[in-house]
């Protein structure tokens, strides 16, 4: 009997233990299911946020050609789990800007003293500065900053932004001053001395002017000769980008401005290599620049009848190599006054071609060689400022153009016009601006508006109020461009 009671007690104890174990397993299962469910809910929240964000980002990138920064942030969900969601900023397209490039004259004292402020008065916000490495570091570790200190001190006083193009390696750092650098550590050391020195004034750094040059140019190392070495350029651009971003994270880094012209004569007569840019992208260069510079002059109208054609070809080259969201700046452009049409051709070029460039997505342009100086016989004259530091030729047109565009960004071509009319729309917080001209004959144009519009001539010397009637403003457009402003 005693043994029977003991056996019953043992059986009851084992039964209780099994029940307790089953209850514990059930509670653990419930906790695990709750954890899995919580994680699943967090994943669904992340997926929903991502699905909402991505179409907006994709649309802005395709429409505006510029993807803005999207950074990961960590959101604490519980004490054990975190989830990363994309932070989407509202996209604001950059305002259009204008600048000047004095070339080799940028370090001349009277240009610094007098022509810099005359350029600012003309409407230039930027100055592109050619900076010769070999002029500053005369021997390894020995620097002569004097003439460039004067340049950047003056730019700082005038509150002008600088884009610096670095060119010309010393003979102890490269076999050819215009070409690939053999001592890249020397370049890094130079950048460590250079970038912090002028970072307060310089907003953009550019690696080599016209690197697509095939061989050394008669003009010297100011024109690059990397055209046959795209892989080397891609590797050294990577180093340049990393070093500048380390020293000045807010600065823009630009792929060296491309001539992208003067070919088609057959090797070895081509001055520049058309395939150079694409070959650098195929070697990974697309990760190591914020924008690419481009030069446009009306010298190859069969291939590039307008600035927009050249810009679009560069953008298409990037797109087919998977490179998107890069700025394109026209870092050299201009029209000469020693042509059959003289200053009239220059004034028309300022409004027509610069507008076409902005319409193609460019947001900064630099007029090259604006200051009058002695030149060889037959050389072109793109001047806007005289030797006496006074406005000449197309200066007033440039100034009027800059004033009209201040604070605006370009939407693009405006299509609601008659055939033969070319029109572009710019907008800002308080006004819309239309720049129009006819490529055929004078035609009547109507633009929707409930308020009166102001029509200004190409050069700003005539202004007309256009009354709004039945929700539109109506005016005539001829061969000479006009500006039409409407308050928003």
Give the whole-angstrom CA distance, residue 371 versus residue 358: 24
As to burial, measured by CB atoms within 10 angstroms (0-12 exposed, 13-18 middle, 19+ buried), residue 423 is buried
Which pair of structure tokens corresponds to residue 299? 């010298």
Residues 268 and 321 in one domain: yes
Q: What is the DSSP string of 211-276?
A: TTBSS--TT-TTS---TT-HHHHHHHHHHHHHHHHHH-TTSEEEEEEE---S--S-TTS-SB-TTH
Q: Is residue 321 part of a domain?
A: yes
**Among the listed residues 318, 454, 336, the one whose alpha carbon sits nearest the alpha carbon of residue 392:** 336
Collapsing DSSP states into helix, strand and coil, what is residue 186? helix
Tell me, yes or no, whether 418 and 401 share the same domain: no
22 and 141 assigned to the same domain: no
78 and 145 housed in the same domain: no
Number of domains the chain contains: 3
Q: Are residues 343 and 221 in the same domain?
A: yes
- Owning domain of residue 273: 97-406
Same domain membership, residue 145 and residue 44 = no
Domain presence at residue 289:
yes
Cis ω before 268 (30° cut-off from 0) = yes
Q: CATH number of the domain at 358, please.
A: 3.20.20.80
CATH code where residue 481 lies: 2.60.40.1180
441, part of any domain: yes
Amino acid 58: pLDDT: 40
Q: Are residues 169 and 42 located together in one domain of the fold?
A: no
Residue pointed to by tokens 């003056």: 154
Which of residues 87, 110, 137 is at a domain's end? 87
Evaluate whether residue 175 is within a structural domain: yes
Going through 29-108 in order, the beta strands assigned E by DSSP cover: 71-76, 82-87, 97-101
> In terms of domains, do 81 and 141 share one?
no
Is residue 426 domain-shared with residue 348, that is, in the same domain?
no
For the entire predicted model, the pTM comes to: 0.82
Is residue 72 one of the residues assigned to a domain?
yes
Position 16 scores a pLDDT of 46
Shared domain for 474 and 366, answered yes or no, is no
Q: Which of 381, 406, 431 is the last residue of a domain?
A: 406
Residue 262 pLDDT: 85
Q: Is residue 247 part of a domain?
A: yes
Q: In what order do the strands lie in the sheet with 463-466?
A: 409-413, 421-427, 431-438, 482-487, 453-457, 463-466
DSSP assignment of 15-42, as one string? HHHHHHHHHHHHHHHHHHHHHHHHHHHH
pLDDT at residue 259, rounded to an integer: 97
Q: Look at residue 24 in the predicted model and tell me its pLDDT.
A: 47
Cβ proximity of 392 and 384 under 8 Å: yes
386 part of a folded domain: yes
Q: Is 92 contained in some domain?
A: no
Write out the chain's pLDDT in tens, 488 residues: 444 433 343 344 444 443 344 444 445 455 545 555 555 555 555 555 544 444 444 434 433 333 333 333 344 444 555 555 555 545 568 999 999 999 999 999 999 999 999 999 999 999 999 999 999 999 999 999 999 999 999 999 999 999 999 999 999 999 999 999 999 999 999 999 999 999 999 999 999 999 999 999 999 999 999 999 999 999 999 999 999 999 999 999 999 999 999 887 776 678 999 999 999 999 999 999 999 999 999 999 999 999 999 999 999 999 999 999 999 999 999 999 987 778 999 999 999 999 999 999 999 999 999 999 999 888 899 999 999 999 999 999 999 999 999 999 999 999 999 999 999 999 999 999 999 999 999 999 999 999 999 999 999 999 999 999 999 999 999 999 999 999 98
Which of 350, 378, 406 terminates a domain? The answer is 406
pLDDT at residue number 54: 46
Same domain, 359 and 218: yes
* Residues 347 and 387 reside in one and the same domain: yes
E strands, 278-338, in order: 291-296, 327-333
pLDDT at 264: 73
The pLDDT value recorded for residue 91 is 56
Helical spans, DSSP H, in 131-228: 133-136, 146-158, 184-198
């Amino acid at each position: 009997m005693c043994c029977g009671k003991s056996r019953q007690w043992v059986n009851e104890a084992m039964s209780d233990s099994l029940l307790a174990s089953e209850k514990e397993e059930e509670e653990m299962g419930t906790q695990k299911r709750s954890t899995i469910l919580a994680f699943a809910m967090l994943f669904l929240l992340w997926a929903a946020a991502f699905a909402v964000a991505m179409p907006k980002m994709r649309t802005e990138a395709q429409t505006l050609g510029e993807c803005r920064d999207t950074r990961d942030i960590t959101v604490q969900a519980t004490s054990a789990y975190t989830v990363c969601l994309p932070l989407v900023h509202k996209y604001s397209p950059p305002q259009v800007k204008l600048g000047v490039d004095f070339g080799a004259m940028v370090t001349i004292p009277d240009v610094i003293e007098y022509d810099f402020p005359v350029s600012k008065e003309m409407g230039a916000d930027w100055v592109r500065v050619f900076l010769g490495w070999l002029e500053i570091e005369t021997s390894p570790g020995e620097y002569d900053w004097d003439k460039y200190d004067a340049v950047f001190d003056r730019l700082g006083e005038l509150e002008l932004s600088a884009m610096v193009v670095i060119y010309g390696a010393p003979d102890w750092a490269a076999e050819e001053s215009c070409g690939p650098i053999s001592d890249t550590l020397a370049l890094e050391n130079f950048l460590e001395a250079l970038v912090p020195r002028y970072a307060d004034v310089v907003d953009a750094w550019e690696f080599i002017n016209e690197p697509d040059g095939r061989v050394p140019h008669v003009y010297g190392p100011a024109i690059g000769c990397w055209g046959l070495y795209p892989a080397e350029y891609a590797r050294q651009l990577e180093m340049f980008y990393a070093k500048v971003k380390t020293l000045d994270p807010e600065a823009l880094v630009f792929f060296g401005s491309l001539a992208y012209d003067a070919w088609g004569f057959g090797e070895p007569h081509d001055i520049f290599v058309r395939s150079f840019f694409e070959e650098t992208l195929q070697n990974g260069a697309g990760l190591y620049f914020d924008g690419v510079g481009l030069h446009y002059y009306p010298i190859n109208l069969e291939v590039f009848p307008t600035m927009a054609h050249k810009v679009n070809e560069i953008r298409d080259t990037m797109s087919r190599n998977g490179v998107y969201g890069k700025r394109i700046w026209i870092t050299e452009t201009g029209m000469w006054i020693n042509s059959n049409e003289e200053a009239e051709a220059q004034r028309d070029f300022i409004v027509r071609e610069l507008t076409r460039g902005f319409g193609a997505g460019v947001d900064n342009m630099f007029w090259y060689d604006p200051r009058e100086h002695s030149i060889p016989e037959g050389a072109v004259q793109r001047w806007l400022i005289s030797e006496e530091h006074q406005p000449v030729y197309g200066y007033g047109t440039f100034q009027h153009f800059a004033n009209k565009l201040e604070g605006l960004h370009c939407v693009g071509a405006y299509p609601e016009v008659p055939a033969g009319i070319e029109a572009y729309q710019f907008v800002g917080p308080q006004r819309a601006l239309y720049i129009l001209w006819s490529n055929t004959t004078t035609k009547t144009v109507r633009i929707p508006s409930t308020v009166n519009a102001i029509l200004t001539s190409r050069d700003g010397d005539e202004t007309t109020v256009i009354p709004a009637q039945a929700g539109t403003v109506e005016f005539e457009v001829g061969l000479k461009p006009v500006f039409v402003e409407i308050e928003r």
